[in-house]
Every structure is written in structure tokens, then in C-alpha cells.
Amino acid sequence: MNTVKLTNVTKIIKKRTILSNINLTLEKGNIYGLYGRNGSGKTMLIRIISGLILPSSGTVEVFGQRIGKDISFPQSMGLTIENVGFWPRYTGIECLELLASIKHEINTEQIREALKTVGLDPDDKRKYYQYSLGMKQKLAIAQALMENPELILLDEPTNSLDEESVLEVRKILMREKERGALIVIASHNKEDIHQLADKVIMINDGQITKMEEVLK
């Protein structure tokens, strides 16, 4: 199965409906952009696809496996969420080496390459707490991509990035797409979404209001 499928997904928190009856099929080899203002439900949708949060009702299937039944989390997933925290007293490469030690799928040289890909120096001795906001964002993206996941979920990936870095992220995502990954980006920045995505999904008040192809 090469799809992520959401069927009648609703999420209610404290009697407030965050997502309402979402039906969506996403296919590998595409970059999808979730666009909506802050509070529209796009971040919740990312978290539900990732398995971090379960829906109140409805089902989420990732590549043929149901979240919360067959699996807890997608088995091959890269994820960034807003305000992700790394170890403040570790260097960038030390942070990624710690995370990579969970699965043991990649070696130090591959981690170094992931850092270089996003424009970070793997030999930089500065600790994470000394990083600029842009550097922290790049480290989060490197973390999401370093194990070549089939599913890539990026929440506000261009926050704190300059225009040149946004273009670099676009090139990186195009390579991931060509590799066959399924990529979902959430952003409140319409310009960034249209620059990064092939297909834009508009979300407003927890509902999908429109889905359109992006003409490049």
C-alpha cells in the first residue's frame, strides 16, 4: 500500500471540535501542503497522521496499517513539530546520534551528510542552546530526514528560515519526493506552501474546504 488514508476522522477536545469528518487519501511520491490560519486544525491533522494523538472517531491507515490497531506509530516516519526540543548541552551531531541510536538504521557518516544537506556543519562545536532559531529549525529538518523515511511530516518547517534556506528546503523535498516519499507540510504561510507543495489542502475550522494542484 502506497497511501495514507483518513476516513471520517474527527477530533474533539473538551467539547471543542478540532477536526470534523476528515476524509483524505494521500499518495507516495507527492508533496502535500496543509494550509490554514493558526488554529485551523492543520497541526492536529499532522499529529493524528503521526500517531502522536488518536482521533475521537474515524480511522487512519498508513501504508495499509491502521494507527492505534495494527501499529502505534508509522514504522518509517520523519516528523517535525513546532517547538521541538533537543538536548540543550549537546552539539547538533550529538543530538542526532542519540536519536539514531534508537533504531540503529544509520551510521555517523550518514548523520553528517544529513546535517550538510540542510546547511549545518557537522563539526560545529556549539551546543544546541547556542543555536540560532534558523539553525534549530534546520536541525529539526535533518532529524526528520536522516533515516530516509517513507512518510515525512513537517509542521511549519520554514519558520525562522531565510528565503535562501526555504529554497534549499524545496530542493531537499524534491529529492525526497523523487525517492518516493510521501511528504506532508503544514504552514500558515501561503507563499511557502505554494513554493514547497505539489498539492495544497485548505483547512478552515477543522474541515477541508479545498484541494488544488499547484502549477509550477
Query: DSSP string covering 89-139, please?
Result: TSBHHHHHHHHHHHHT-S-HHHHHHHHHHTT--TT---BGGGS-HHHHHHH
In terms of CATH architecture, what is 3-213?
3-Layer(aba) Sandwich (3.40)
Residue 189 pLDDT exceeds 80: yes
Return the domain boundaries, the chain. 3-213
Alpha carbons within 13 A on the beta-carbon side of 16: 9
Could you give the CA distance from residue 81 to residue 209 in angstroms, rounded to a whole number? 23
Answer for the pair 147, 159: CB distance below 8 angstroms, yes or no.
Answer: no
**pLDDT-above-90 percentage for the chain:** 87
If DSSP codes are grouped into helix, strand and coil, which group holds residue 203?
A: strand
The predicted model gives 61-77 an average pLDDT of 95
What pLDDT does residue 214 have? Answer: 85
What pLDDT does residue 195 have? Answer: 86
More confident residue, 194 or 29: 29
The model's pTM is 0.95
The predicted model gives 137-166 an average pLDDT of 94
Confidence of residue 139 (pLDDT cuts 50, 70, 90): very high
Could you give the CA distance from residue 93 to residue 95 in angstroms, rounded to a whole number? 5
Reported as a single tens digit per residue, the pLDDT across 109-132 is 999 999 999 999 999 999 999 999
Confidence of residue 200 (pLDDT cuts 50, 70, 90): very high
What pLDDT does residue 192 have? Answer: 84
Q: Is the dihedral of CA 58, 12, 150, 37 positive or negative?
A: positive
Q: Which amino acid is it at 25?
A: T
What pLDDT does residue 204 have? Answer: 95
The three cell numbers locating residue 199: 498539492
